[in-house]
Structure 1
């Protein structure tokens, strides 16, 4: 593990990363600042915000936490880095899949190479899309590590992803359990690469500890924070996540969840991943 940002390096090494997602399309400065202030007071690790230059500049003045911008546009990423962004994340594939476009493994690799060339010594996180097979997810993570990506993020099923990837008869894959597929990806990817992995999509503050058990170095919170009404409730929510992330889980939890998620995998994928 080797991150350019020393503050982030320390947090990832301790596997205690709490990434606070303010919203990929949220450029309302007042709303973002409310979440940012709560995240800072509760000692979250860093903020993930929209790739908006004015927003980045404002946060760099008013918030001491590292700022990550999420985008699929290399030019936007470059401009935000010039404005002060501390790291960048390639993700938000919903923009494409809502139009029926699904980025391939090769396209994501090429995009990552382009971004790395543009921003040089800034840390890069890449989200592994869950619409590709689990074997492809592992392969993509390995290739991203090879080209110098610093962090991997996993995600759960999105409503816009092709339904063929979802077993409708598997009860854990309903809309309230998108964190489970993210944990599944985290489990196998973390065993295949040496760079840190963040689990996101549907994570809540109570079950954050599961991420550590499955090999994650931290978790990302986004939609669950939107339900909090004020700064105090956001702070309380994040503090509970700290406690959960630092708590220990026994091995029985791992075995139990492993068995429950096997039906999601195609038999062929199980053989590839375990052999």
Structure 2
């Protein structure tokens, strides 16, 4: 249930900009720095670690809605009671690094649990990129039937440590955008496209029909809060642009935006 009217309005307008501050970031000074840049830049909401102390501090200095991500329903419920606006079943990276992959049913069970505990909460669920597209569609449809408010896509994480930031960002954004494109053909609830998103890919996500984008790693390239706020504003402007796409581009075969490694994961 989306109780925050500003968030609901932004979703309906396809103008959501979610700033991912860092789900394992517990440095309060850095978090406040990023939150202020997000607010000045015009972001819609911020995604933070599921930590009650951080939540309480941010609620005193920022008016932006707060989102926390976890796979622990009890932890999410505690954050809801602390005043968080959005509960997200996500933050799967910590498990990927341990070689643990969540199945569609794993994610669905977590979503059911938190929705039982907090029926009035706004619930967002990240669709694991490790699932083949067919399983991503299955999970998204089940979550829509369950009554989840928002779906978020995520991008492919490279196993190659030598990959440059640009290469890894391209891998992430291409798979996140591909999932966004496909899921929007199958469900009607809002989708936030995240992972490797920059001003260019943000505009593409919106042209595909996404209700918004999540951005995090791209902003790490900018150390000054003013620079970050300017970049956030530029991303918002890029989302507003009316992209002219011919029929061939609009009906782009989804395989063409996948890299070879992601195609392999689809066929797994």
Once the two structures are superposed, residues 6-36 of structure 1 have per-residue CA deviations (whole angstroms, 9 ceiling, x without a partner) of 2211000000000001001011111111111
Structure 2 match to 1:10: 9
2:242 aligned residue (248, 259, 275) = 248
Query: Pairwise mapping of residues 26-105 of structure 1 onto structure 2 (< 5 A)?
Result: 26-105=25-104
Runs of 4+ in 1 over 6 A off after TM superposition: none
TM-score by length of 2: 0.90
2:199 aligned residue (205, 218, 234) = 205
Structure 1 position 233, deviation (Å): 0.5
Structure 1 position 74, deviation (Å): 1.3
Structure 1 position 261, deviation (Å): 2.4
Matched, 1:186 2:180: yes
Q: For the structure 1 residues 207 and 102, does the alpha-carbon distance in structure 2 shift closer, same or farther, using more than 3 Å as the test?
A: closer
Structure 1 position 257, deviation (Å): 7.3
Structure 1 position 160, deviation (Å): 5.4
Q: Please list every run of 5 or more consecutive structure 2 residues that lacks an aligned counterpart in the other structure.
A: 161-165
2:226 aligned residue (209, 214, 232) = 232
SS in structure 1 of the partner of residue 201 of structure 2: coil
Counterpart Cα distance in 1 of 2:185 and 2:253? 17
Counterpart Cα distance in 1 of 2:105 and 2:211? 26
Q: For the structure 1 residues 255 and 36, does the alpha-carbon distance in structure 2 shift closer, same or farther, using more than 3 Å as the test?
A: same
**Count of residue correspondences:** 257
Structure 1 position 94, deviation (Å): 1.6
Q: For the structure 1 residues 234 and 263, does the alpha-carbon distance in structure 2 shift closer, same or farther, using more than 3 Å as the test?
A: closer
Structure 2 match to 1:196: 190
Q: For the structure 1 residues 255 and 73, does the alpha-carbon distance in structure 2 shift closer, same or farther, using more than 3 Å as the test?
A: same
Structure 1 position 256, deviation (Å): 5.5
Matched, 1:176 2:169: yes
Structure 1 position 176, deviation (Å): 3.0
The answer to whether the 8 Å contact 1:207/1:244 transfers is: no
Give me the CA root mean square deviation. Answer: 2.2
Structure 1 position 69, deviation (Å): 0.5
SS in structure 2 of the partner of residue 88 of structure 1: strand
